[in-house]
Amino acid sequence: MTAATARRAEATEQEVDYWVQQKRDRVARGEKVFTVEDLHAYQLDEDETWELVTAGNGCTISWVGEDGSPGGTYVKHAVLNGAAYFLLLDGDEAVPGLRRDPRVSVVFDGGDGVGAVTIRGVIEFVDDLASLVRVVLAVGRREGLSEAQLEERVRVARPGREYIARLTPERFVTFTHKKIVRG
Same domain, 51 and 20: no
Pair 64, 17 in one domain: no
pLDDT-derived band at 32 (thresholds 50, 70, 90) equals confident
**Residue 144 carries which DSSP code?**
T
86: β partners: 77, 165
Residue, of 123 and 6, whose pLDDT is higher: 123
pTM: 0.74
Identity of the amino acid at 64: V
- One domain for residues 104 and 127: yes
Strands (E) in the chain, as ranges, are: 59-64, 70-80, 83-89, 103-109, 116-126, 162-175
* Count of domains observed in the chain: 2
- At 6, the pLDDT band (50, 70, 90 cuts) reads low
pLDDT at 134 over 80: yes
- Amino acid 27: pLDDT: 84
Alpha carbon 177 to chain centroid, angstroms: 15
As a whole number of angstroms, the longest Cα–Cα distance in the chain is: 70
Position 95, amino acid: V
HSE, side-chain direction, 13 A CA sphere, residue 70: 8
Say what the pLDDT of residue 166 is: 97
Radius of gyration of the chain (CA): 21
Q: How confident is the model at residue 4 (pLDDT cuts 50, 70, 90)?
A: low
Together in a domain, 120 and 161: yes
Please check whether residues 138 and 82 belong to one and the same domain: yes
Residue 26's contacts (CB-CB under 8 Å, 6 or more residues apart) are 32, 33
Same domain, 73 and 138: yes
- Domain, as residue range, for 17: 1-35
Say if residue 17 is in the same domain as residue 87: no
* Co-location of 84 and 135 in the same domain: yes
User: Are residue 54 and residue 14 in the same domain, yes or no?
Assistant: no
